A and B are shown apart, each in its own frame.
Chain A
């Protein structure tokens, strides 16, 4: 069975400061990893994903995440946050073979303070 742990339920950060949202996973097989973002009263949107290759993946709005196999982590980072980044962020893991069941973390609320 696979699982995802998001270590922080809420992260307050001042505008233009850096942020890291932590995600650890467990799985007995190779995985795909995802970060989704959810703005208020909306569905989840894919932010970035790791499938294979370079362990550092980036999104179009300045977020990046690094797959660390030895630490089974996929932390999300941004060097300088904006008010518009205020949202809930979900880490997800999927087996890379078979049914490829996707498991979501419980989410981290990022609150950017002006």
Chain B
């Protein structure tokens, strides 16, 4: 099916471990985003990418790394997970032909213990 798929949907990891959240879109949208959602903070932008091999920091990039070697994939890596990174992570892409509507994946629930 077309759209954005995230994996894993649920993950429990230990403090200090590296974790990668995968994101794949089938629309070939240029822009892709990673947000985290936390109670009381709403959605906060971690990183975004304007095209393959072009990435930039959002509001809360510390502790995260992204790459975009292909237009359709935008993985997010937590290099050394901390408890404060326990959150729900949403990948998204933007359709610039339709008023810049953002489409979201289903989310990845990450718990760092």
Main secondary structure of the interface of B (DSSP, over half): strand
Stretch at the interface among B60-68, B69-77, B78-86, B100-108: B100-108
A34-B42 CB under 8 A given contacts A42-B107, A43-B106, A44-B90:
no
Nearest neighbor of A100 in chain B, beta-carbon distance: B100
- Chain B interface residues toward A at CB < 8 A: 4, 35, 40-43, 90, 94, 99-107
A104-B100 CB under 8 A given contacts A43-B90, A43-B105, A43-B107:
no
A94-B100 CB under 8 A given contacts A104-B43, A106-B42, A107-B42:
yes
Q: Considering the chains assembled together, what is the distance between the CA atoms of A92 and B43 in angstroms?
A: 10
Verify A49–B43 contact, CB threshold 8 A: no
Chain A nearest Cβ from B50, distance in angstroms: 8
Residues in B with CB closer than 8 Å to A46 are 101-103
Q: Is A87 an interface residue (CB 8 A)?
A: no
Q: Considering the chains assembled together, what is the distance between the CA atoms of A46 and B106 in angstroms?
A: 13
A-B contact pairs, 14 of them (CB 8 A): A41-B107, A43-B4, A43-B90, A43-B104, A43-B105, A45-B104, A46-B101, A49-B99, A100-B100, A102-B94, A102-B100, A102-B102, A104-B43, A105-B42
Q: Is A11 an interface residue (CB 8 A)?
A: no
Residues in B with CB closer than 8 Å to A92 are 102
Nearest neighbor of A95 in chain B, beta-carbon distance: B100
Residues in B with CB closer than 8 Å to A83 are none
